[in-house]
Amino acid sequence: MPSKIETINPYNGNRIKNYQEFTKSKLEACLELSENTFETWKQTDIKERTTLLKTLSKNLLKNKQKFAELMTEEMGKPISQSLAEIEKCSFLVDFYAKNADDFLADELIETDAEESFISFDPLGCILGIMPWNYPFWQVLRFAIPTVTAGNTILLKHASNVTGCALAIQEIFEESGFPKGCFQTLIADHEQIDQLIADSRIKAISLTGSEKAGRHIAETAGKHLKKTVLELGGNNACIVLADADLDAHLDTMVHARMQNTGQSCIAAKRFIVVEDIYGEFLEKFKAKVKKLNIGDPADKNTELSVLAREDLAKTLKKQVDTSIGQGAKVITGNKTDKAYFEPTILTNVKPGMPVFDEETFGPVAAIIKVKTKEDAYKMASHSKFGLGTMVFTQNIEDARKQIIEIADGAFFINELVKSDPRLPFGGTKASGFGRELSKEGIHEFVNRKTVFINL
């Protein structure tokens, strides 16, 4: 008997809606429709696809208030940030509408053939497994390039944002995409494992935890299926002695506290050279204390609750364990159900959960080091490799670290963020593969060598 899924408003605890997980026969029907739709969708002209993208972008903006309110209700994102997420999704769709034709054009290669080139052919039905923290953005940054390349998509979204998942399918269909191009599945983990084993699923994209990534990679590997994994992060924010705090402190606070700290690319470890440490800590604390905390539906709210109560409990355990190992609380560490007070910890060392693990919430771990060299070395002391940011006025010196920091992104005087124009992804335990940009649309295609002689 299929289970029921209940979505809960994390701010007030109210039940939003109940959903029924799909039966085996309903999942089969979705998979069959996806496969059948692919046979016609792959033949459509790229200009037809990009025309549909333009309609989709307009529909996102037309419905942005409704979608933003749904996000805020289901996972507690402050409404101003939910609105910004929908606007960013529209920008993403416009980017591929403008550039997909060039990205997917045959790449001519001069050889001894009369004609030789690389074609970029779609693979088929792609399974996307997506998280709750950016309910629209995470899905669309995978789905838009993938479907534009000629694939069809089955989405398994996080259960607490099931309403968002269904709304995304609806907006695809309302924008004129064929039914079966994009379908949302309401399914459990066992059902998803069975889907991965099905020969009709050609590849899998997962954004989620390291644990989930290892499981999906292992399951897909048994069936020799490609995966793109965007996993956790433990980004370092390096603050060097010459950093312009007055110019960049707001950016540093936002780097940690955006989305109530629930972001894989958030700054989690602040590695500060001792010459500027005292000034940084004082000013950083003052900025954090001024954050407007409250109802996520209020347009003035900057920080609210975590998406679920269990997430607050996990974060509390990480913080309390670190305190037991010697970390000191400068402010925060109070909880109430799904709420976690913005927290600053000092005297943080390797071996503590707040240094070693991904902390998904508004907790800033501050690490004091003696020199610039110590700062870069400490930043690299992590099993994760999503991104690093450094704040300094010596740009040329910072450039030398680009090759030394083995992360997927290196930002100077800016927080690590995703941009449709740039590839996004990590190294080490942060996963592999790239989303967005030209690289993202080429992840789920067959790069076919074509050699023609007359």
CA distance 386 to 401: 15
Burial, 26: exposed, middle or buried (Cβ in 10 Å; 0-12, 13-18, 19+)?
middle
Which residues pair with residue 427 across a beta bridge? 385
Contact status, residue 423 vs residue 435, Cβ threshold 8 Å? yes
Contact status, residue 257 vs residue 409, Cβ threshold 8 Å? no
Q: Say whether 119 sits in a helix, a strand or coil.
A: strand
CA distance 112 to 92: 39
Sign of CA dihedral 277, 282, 283, 285: positive
**Residue carrying structure tokens 């940690």:** 256
CA distances from 129 to 26, 31, 41, 167, 185 (A): 18, 15, 22, 16, 10
Kind and range of the H or E run holding 221: helix 210-222
Contact status, residue 361 vs residue 261, Cβ threshold 8 Å? yes
Confirm whether 230 is a catalytic residue. yes
Q: Which of 230, 302, 358, 443 is catalytic?
A: 230
Which residues are tagged catalytic? 230
